[in-house]
Amino acid sequence: MNLVLQLNILLTLNLLCHSDSIGSEKSDSSYRELTDHTMVTDNGIFPFVAAILSKSAYVSAGALINEFWVITAADSLFLIRETTRIMRVRLGSVNNKKGGYLSPVKTIEIHPSFDDNSAAYDIALILLPTRVRFTPSVYPIQLQTQLQEVSTTHFMVNSWPPHVVPSSVYPNHTESLDIIKRRRMMTVSHLHPSSKENCSDLIQFLNVTEKETMMCLDPAVGTDPCERDVGAPVVLNGILWGILSSWKPDDCDTDPGPMLVTLVAAKNVSSWLHSTMRGHIWSINNTVDYENYYYEDDSEK
């Protein structure tokens, strides 16, 4: 790992840990040099990351963005959105099976333009039934408010990835109990932006007309090319840029291609997010610009 990348990682982790006085002031030497899918052991390092569960089964990652709302990918919830009674959200724990704060789900809101046959608008909101009390291990992340040119070398991505060895490569592979336990632990990766040419070609191939709603990241080296860290928050300098999509190419085992990210600052995404959280009716032809709206402290109203 070169010196510039190490410094960028240190800066990102420092901003994540110290961006607010309530955030964790801890530092852990184990995060100073990240490899792909480094295991997280401190609940206070990434206090915004959420695990979306169906009963006790892990569904996807997500991010807490205010006292009531969690943002995640739409595709993983599309077929189960009517069964909110069995859905749970775990906050404040690096283990998706235990610890932290386990909340029921009140409603699931999927972007109206999402189609499970398309890669576009793969984003959803989960409304929690009661206000989340912020602690050093449970705290929201700010949303990016304006689209920016991608000029960084990497983004931080948190999730609970499957770590499943492709059956096409190892048909007789079975996971040990130790590996199963490790899959319950949050990981953090640094993923690099894809080239502009590759990303543009992919988005055009997918017939996505609103190109500004998406960004591409290269898959982590050594991971299953057909797995995606669905719903994982994509973060730069303590700001949420987007949510990792579940989309993957049909021939992912031979040509994994870039991973797609739905950008929260895109007009038709940002406007929908804030309209939904405020209880307003939204349509793609009737958008409203909301500036500097991350979360509101209702106690001050």
Q: What is the pLDDT of residues 134-144, one digit of tens each?
A: 999 999 999 99
Q: Could you tell me if residue 81 is left (phi over 0), alpha (psi between -120 and 50 degrees) or otherwise beta?
A: alpha
Full DSSP string of 2-62: -HHHHHHHHHHHHHHHHSSTTS-----GGGSS--TTEEP--TTTSTTEEEEEETTEEEEEE
The neighbouring-strand residues paired with 226 are: none
**Which superfamily does 3-44+141-263 belong to?**
Trypsin-like serine proteases (2.40.10.10)
What number is the average pLDDT over the span 10-37? 42
Do the first three CATH levels of 3-44+141-263 and 49-140+266-294 match, i.e. the same topology?
yes
Rank 15-19, 24-28, 148-152 by mean pLDDT and report only the highest.
Answer: 148-152
pLDDT of residue 36: 59
- If phi > 0 it is left, if psi is from -120 to 50 it is alpha, else beta; for residue 150 that is beta
Q: What is the domain partition of the chain in residue ranges?
A: 3-44+141-263, 49-140+266-294
Look at the domain 49-140+266-294 and name its fold.
Answer: Thrombin, subunit H (2.40.10)
- Whether 88 shows a pLDDT value over 70: the answer reads yes
Instruction: Examine the pLDDT at 74 and tell me if it is beyond 90.
Output: yes
CA distances from 34 to 5, 40, 49, 204, 246 (A): 10, 10, 18, 33, 24
pLDDT at 260 over 50: yes
**How does DSSP classify residue 75?**
T
Digit-coded pLDDT (tens) for 93-120: 999 999 999 999 999 999 999 988 888 8
Burial of 233 by CB count in 10 Å (0-12 exposed, 13-18 middle, 19+ buried)?
A: buried
Give the chain's mean pLDDT.
79
Q: What CA dihedral angle connects 51, 71, 111 and 123, to 10 degrees? A: -70
| pLDDT, tens only, 199-254 | 999 898 888 888 889 999 988 777 777 777 889 999 999 999 999 998 887 777 77
